[in-house]
């Protein structure tokens, strides 16, 4: 069982790294909705891997990023960054983010709340992957 959990954890970390790299490409092409979703997916996968490592309990199929962050045993500074991004924004669909951008933001202005949110998520993913890799 321990071996299976280790394989699942490694698989989640690989997928998170793949999502992170792909999200960076979408961010660079200003596909912010897609980048945001991929960063959120990477955050969720790393947190699931950390929770699996630290607990013996089965994870719920759908758990919010906030819930997983609370169970992952993160250092306070990383946890605070995750808590800063609301679950509503972290779990928003691409269509919701695109609609919000059309309604509230100037397309030519990359210094928007959404762009900053994507940058924050990217930073969080980078730190989580580093932390999870060191915790092996």
Average pLDDT over residues 95-120: 62
Q: Report which DSSP code applies to 58.
A: P
Give the residue with greater pLDDT, 57 vs 3: 57
How confident is the model over 35-86, as pLDDT tens digits? 989 999 999 999 999 998 888 777 777 788 888 898 898 999 899 888 877 5
pLDDT beyond 50 at 14:
yes
Q: Does domain 2-134 have CATH number 1.20.120.330?
A: yes
Predicted TM-score (pTM) of this structure: 0.77
Please give the C-alpha separations between residue 57 and each of 51, 60, 116, 122, in angstroms, as whole numbers.
Answer: 9, 9, 35, 29
Chain center to CA of 57 = 22
Rounded distance between C-alpha atoms, residue 126 and residue 62, angstroms: 23
Q: What is the CA radius of gyration of the chain?
A: 15
Rounded distance between C-alpha atoms, residue 34 and residue 65, angstroms: 18
């Amino acid at each position: 069982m321990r071996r299976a959990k280790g394989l699942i954890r490694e698989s989640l970390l690989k997928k998170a790294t793949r999502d992170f790299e792909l999200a960076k490409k979408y961010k660079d092409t200003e596909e912010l909705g897609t980048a945001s979703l991929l960063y959120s997916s990477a955050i969720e996968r790393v947190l699931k891997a950390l929770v699996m490592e630290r607990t013996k309990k089965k994870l719920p199929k759908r758990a919010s990023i906030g819930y997983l962050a609370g169970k992952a045993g993160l250092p306070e500074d990383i946890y605070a960054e995750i808590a800063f991004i609301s679950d509503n924004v972290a779990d928003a669909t691409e269509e919701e983010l695109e609609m919000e951008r059309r309604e509230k933001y100037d397309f030519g202005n990359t210094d928007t709340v959404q762009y900053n949110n994507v940058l924050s998520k990217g930073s969080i993913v980078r730190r989580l992957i580093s932390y999870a890799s060191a915790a092996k």
